[in-house]
Chain A
């Protein structure tokens, strides 16, 4: 064991040997521990950095990506970047920033076959199935659609138009006579490409791409939505439905989820104890009572 290479290897006794061994092991061990801890800290991906389509979950991605940059080279729109030391993104790993350069959703997804280690999943062949992140309308106070102005830019640039972002028409209570065209994102169709964030007309986008785990809520595993379960089964799960009996005067029905109180039309001529129209009472006058 000519440890130092200075030719004193011949005369090393056990004490020196153990000393050298432990010293080296200590130094390297400390370094390894430091590296391991640094890796935990460094592996948190900032929310604004989006991985290319097909990227496997982040913790596995950092084990699979060998930082070769071929996906960057094969991206025809040059939107992908490699993280550099000092960036928040792990050095050498690919990402894009939706606001400045969103994924253009090429149909042949050229970045994926370029990956030599399946860090970008080669099984993904339909770009519409990719889930790079999820668009979220983050600020209803500045999004001009919520102010009652016509915009719909995010809705119109969306490559899965009408499915990933739809417009919900709501009453404009401020003007009293207009509609609000509210953009609603649907996670079952949104790929997280970021074209909407790029196109948002505000100084700071009101619709942003977030990593899915940050953007989505999740129901407790034990939750069952009653009406969906009922639909699946075709009947109620617990006790059979019983029609509710309303204790109402003759000729009057109550439709719980529909019109409400219904006064049967056959009884038109008769005096009713209750009328839904207050004018009736007024027209009748007080004297007749």
Chain B
């Protein structure tokens, strides 16, 4: 696999900077926007959203609950309050439509850390990588659900970097930055995409939640692919691209169906040939008339 120091350079040259970074910019806006909304209260006294990613209330009416955290609480023997259940239902529906791991790439604050690590790794040209199975995260997910059952306490939330980083920024970080530095170094020196792609049980949960979700990246114009490998280089879950992009002669449809795809849209950005678009999972069923229109992508906030 030929590695390029600057994947997406060609796309920037042919499409212009903005179009070649469209989804990346939107994604950062979403990530910082969500953090900003939560910070407006404590910093400026404007209470649009209260709480954090575990559970929040928007404008005093809209509850949103993290289904993974609530599931752990239920495993520990909790009967949630009605608001929490409504919040879970809303969140589950949102991610079943937009794609489960949209949480990972559009909401999760740790993504900023791991993206930075990935970027650093590429710039320093570090290739060594400890082989950690991408399935480890499902084992981790299992552990996070079994431990509350055994101990009666939400054990994973003692160390969960995802909730800890977000809560830390909104309520006070404490020593949690140590864990984030740890993840940053882990992703650079120990394993490529190590945290988000191999270990994180929160991501694993959303992978499963969104395994049948509607909005998908579709390699509609895969016949235009010129094998530049830029999409593989930027994709945090590169194994999900191959079947859709290269499966034409095996009769595999152009939709990226893996629940591990985070719908980050970076492959769409870096492709100079505009092979990829956002579409629906049903685009697979009419592979010839594959000219479905690009769906407007609503962010997950």
Binding site for B on A (CB under 8 A): 1-5, 7, 20, 23-25, 27-29, 31-32, 35-36, 38-40, 42-43, 59-60, 62-70, 72-74, 81-87, 90-92, 115-119, 122
Q: Are B153 and A59 in contact (CB under 8 A)?
A: yes
By the criterion CB–CB under 8 Å, are A122 and B81 in contact? yes
The one of A20, A43, A65 in contact with B133, judged by C-beta atoms closer than 8 angstroms, is A20
CB-based contact A70/B174 at 8 Å = no
CB <8 Å contact, B179 and A85: yes
Taking CB atoms, residues of chain B closer than 8 Å to A7 are 239, 242
Could you give 17 example pairs across A and B, Cβ below 8 Å?
A32-B146, A39-B151, A43-B153, A63-B73, A63-B77, A64-B76, A66-B154, A67-B69, A67-B154, A68-B52, A73-B47, A74-B50, A82-B171, A85-B174, A85-B175, A87-B174, A118-B78
* B interface residue numbers (CB < 8 A to A): 41, 47, 50-52, 54-57, 63, 65-66, 69-70, 72-73, 76-81, 83-84, 87, 131-136, 139-140, 142-143, 146-148, 150-159, 163-164, 167-168, 170-176, 178-179, 237-239, 242
A70 touches B51 (CB 8 A): yes
Q: How far is the CB of B57 from chain A (nearest CB, A)?
A: 7
Known pairs A84-B176, A86-B174 / 8 extra A-B pairs, C-beta < 8 Å: A27-B136, A32-B147, A66-B66, A66-B70, A68-B51, A85-B179, A92-B167, A116-B55
Q: Which residues from A are CB-within-8-Å of B81?
A: 115-118, 122
Contacting pair B153 A117 (CB below 8 A): no
Which residues on the A side are within 8 Å of B70 (C-beta)?
A: 66, 117
Q: Closest Cβ of chain A: how far from B95's Cβ, in Å?
A: 18
Given A5-B239, A64-B73, residue A116 in contact with residue B87 (CB < 8 A) = yes
Q: Report how far A64 CA is from B55 CA in the complex, Å.
A: 13
In the bound complex, residues from chain B placing their C-beta under 8 Å from that of A4 are 131, 133-134
CB of B133, distance to nearest CB on chain A (Å)? 4
Assess the B133–A67 pair: CB atoms within 8 A: no
Shortest distance between the CB of B159 and any CB in chain A (Å): 7
What residues of chain B lie closer than 8 Å to A92, measured between beta carbons? 54, 157, 163-164, 167
